[in-house]
Amino acid sequence: MRSDISVIIPVYRDTDTLARMLASTQFGDAEVIVVSTAADAESLAPLRAAHAAIRWVEAPRGRAAQMNAGAAVASGAWLVFLHADTRLPPDWQSAIAGAAQQPDVAFGCFRFALDSPQLIARAIEVGVRLRVALFHLPYGDQAIFVRREAFEAIGGYADLPIMEDVDLVRRLRVTGRLWRASNEAVTSARRWERLGWVRVTVEHLRLILLYFLGVAPERLKCTHAD
């Protein structure tokens, strides 16, 4: 049976990471769309030649804008928004198949995992799983998947410089419930390793707290330590 899933991957100056992810992920019969910027055209040329089955789209820089551009050309009834540094589990399509059987499910996510053996990585994973379980609030690095009609009903991603995934999830709740897959999407720990485990974790907590206190994403972006 042919899949009715489109996987949308935004990328900006991260060609090597994208190449590793494409090499290690089995997409099966899903439609795969990579949305890059004009700045990536030269570096992505070898990948484009090697992956002719992928649909390559160019859009203005910005994760929200790039994901909307991918969704605009996607054909699937389900849209999977996948970061270039996150790997889907081998049986990822089974999670979406389970969600599709529940009419009241509008969107879903995979379990969060980091590709690090550090004990602090396990603690962060537990914290993320508690957040999702208690507040139904997954982030984009959990490979959020959405019914197309729900995505279109809310107008897609808002044009925000940061927190676009949290904003999307909050609006999707109106259209239906969240499906929490039991299989893991594994995200690179490179940012935690580069900037420091505690620093990155505290920064994430600071941003989400200020966002829910009403601070505009534009202001948050100006103070975000990347």
Query: Could you state, in order of their start, the residue ranges of all structural domains in the chain?
Result: 5-117+137-188
* Architecture in CATH for domain 5-117+137-188: Alpha-Beta Complex (3.90)
pLDDT in tens, 128-156: 999 999 999 999 999 999 999 999 999 99
> 157-160, long-range: CB within 8 Å, 24+ apart, which pairs?
157/63, 157/64, 157/65, 157/67, 157/68, 158/64, 159/62, 159/64, 159/65, 160/64, 160/217, 160/218
- Confidence (pTM): 0.94
User: Percent of the chain having pLDDT more than 90?
Assistant: 95
Q: Are 30 and 76 in contact (CB under 8 A)?
A: yes
pLDDT at 159: 94
Q: Which helix (H) or strand (E) holds 48?
A: helix 41-50
pLDDT at 3: 60
Alpha helix locations (H) across 51-91? Answer: 63-73
- What does the pLDDT average to over 112-140? 97
CA distances (Å), origin 70, targets 8, 23, 195, 221 = 6, 21, 30, 23
- For residue 20 the two structure tokens come to 């590793």
pLDDT confidence of 69, banded at 50, 70, 90? very high
Rounded Cα distance between 137 and 107, Å, is 11
